[in-house]
Amino acid sequence: MQPVHSSLTTHLRCSNPGCATTFDLHERVLACTKCCDLLEVAIQPPPEDPAELKRRWLERRTSNNPCDTSGVWRFREFLPGDYRQSGIVTLGEGNVRLVRALNTAAWTGVRHLSFKHLGWNPTGSFKDLGMTAGMTEAKFTGAKAVACASTGNTAASLAAYAARAGLIGRVYLPAGQASANKLAQALDFGAEVVQIEGSFDDALDVLLNGRDPDLYFLNSINPFRIEGQKTAMFELLEQLEWRVPDYVVVPGGNLGNSSSFGKAFVELKQSGFIDRVPRMVIVQAQGANPLARMWNAGSKELEAVAFPETVATAIRIGNPRSWKKALQAVEYTGGLVMDVTDEEIGEAKAMIGRDGIGCEPASATTLAGIRKLVSEGRLDRDAEIVAMLTGHALKDTDYIIKVQQKQQAADALLTH
């Protein structure tokens, strides 16, 4: 018998609305024991006036308490946790600026475009937002070692936060596929690196099937990571003074990030912080596009891509685990799912660089997607659009040097 949880306390719940089996918040379960779907944290926010909470969150920006200087824990009323403040594992993540697009806006043909660059986090990707929450929970439950499978950025983030928490970090990477920069970070932070022959999906299978009881799993199926990541939308709306943009555009890999944004919109609307939600657009790379294929086919079952292939290695994922949550989120917001080619990603990435911002290839899918939607007449040029950038330009320097040298060589040929 599963215990029945009062809806008045924060607990774990199966994310399948037809199942909704509940679990204790700190129970170490990877998936629903009844239907095997992913779990989510059912948050019970405090019964407070939204205006009062908005004011308090803003006020915390002037505090020097580590729980307030973190752009994640600043929103702790909507996070799980009966953690003591000293138990929170933080590197001051979050708090990234919203930057107006210049050349990139003109290039896509829209008038109101901004970037929120989650790559400007401590280890250079949005993974830090979820990792602070996941690592805090791991430490709270008494874990000694933590592990993840990763295309690189989760590994770098896990390694850093494990070091802060004093835990052993172990990361499973697809051999030869993660960028050297990300591998270097994981090593620098002292993680054990296990290279797996095959893709990210294979690495995740090895980890999950290993069922090592001493390891705490910190992949994006971990519901605590989703909680941390959702605060990106709290921060975004705060930066917009709670004016809701028309679109939020996000890259799609394993689809944890898009799931977390959807969860934020549901909670903020239900609690009266906003009265409508932005449409969420998920952009995948064409060589790793199972959700976009499914969306275009109008199907209800995901067919994995057996051999995912794209220059955007952070989203080179053929079997995204969080697809059901992400699909629910897109449908809830009236958004859409699409894909772009590696060429389109490369052009968009170079443009973002010319705006003085920079990002890694996976992040540039957002700008490429916006441009494509405009050129197809599917996006209003006057819409208020926020493109999420997910990883720092220095995450994949090989790619930049290769592409730019090829471009310069081509330009030289033309001028001779």
> Which region among 358-366, 368-376, 379-387, 405-413 touches ligand PLP (by CB under 6 A)?
358-366
Query: What are the b/e assignments for 390-414, b being 16+ CB within 10 Å?
Result: bbbbebbeebbeebeeeeeeeeeee
Query: Are the beta carbons of 218 and 131 closer than 8 angstroms?
Result: yes
Cβ-based nearer residue to ligand PLP, 104 or 390? 390
Minimum CB separation from ligand PLP for residue 118, in Å?
A: 8
Cβ-based nearer residue to ligand PLP, 136 or 254? 254
Minimum CB separation from ligand PLP for residue 407, in Å?
A: 22
Binding mask 175-214 for ligand PLP (x = CB under 6 A): ----------------------------------------
At 186, list the tokens.
């994981």
Among 70, 153, 222, 366, binds ligand PLP (CB under 6 A): 153
Question: What secondary structure letter does DSSP report for 6?
Answer: P
Among 71, 169, 223, 253, binds ligand PLP (CB under 6 A): 253
CA 370 to chain centre: 19
Tell me the angle at which helices 397-415 and 342-354 cross, rounded to the nearest 10 degrees: 90
The CA distances from residue 318 to 57, 280, 309, 311, 330, in Å, are 38, 21, 9, 14, 19
Minimum CB separation from ligand PLP for residue 280, in Å?
A: 12
At 313, list the tokens.
């290695």
Return d(Cα 214, Cα 211) in angstroms, integer: 9
Among 90, 391, 393, 399, binds ligand PLP (CB under 6 A): 391
List, in order, residues 6 or more apart from 59 with CB less than 8 Å away: none
Return d(Cα 225, Cα 151) in angstroms, integer: 16
If one counts every other C-beta atom within 10 angstroms of the C-beta of residue 368, the result is: 31
> Which region among 100-108, 252-260, 336-344, 371-379 touches ligand PLP (by CB under 6 A)?
252-260
Chain residues 260-279 in contact with ligand PLP, contact rule CB under 6 A: none
- 390 near ligand PLP, rule: CB under 6 A: yes
Among 69, 179, 220, 231, binds ligand PLP (CB under 6 A): 220
Among 122, 252, 290, 318, binds ligand PLP (CB under 6 A): 252
At 302, list the tokens.
């995901």
Binding mask 285-324 for ligand PLP (x = CB under 6 A): -----------------------------xx---------
CA 289 to chain centre: 17
- 360 near ligand PLP, rule: CB under 6 A: yes
Minimum CB separation from ligand PLP for residue 124, in Å?
A: 9
| Exposure of 32 in the CB half-sphere (CA atoms within 13 A) | 18
Among 165, 255, 336, 383, binds ligand PLP (CB under 6 A): 255
Pairing of strands 336-340, 22-23: unpaired
Among 16, 121, 125, 333, binds ligand PLP (CB under 6 A): 125
> Which region among 48-56, 99-107, 183-191, 245-253 touches ligand PLP (by CB under 6 A)?
245-253
Kindly list the residues in this chain that would bind ligand PLP in the complex (CB under 6 A): 125, 127, 153, 220, 251-258, 314-315, 360, 362-363, 390-391
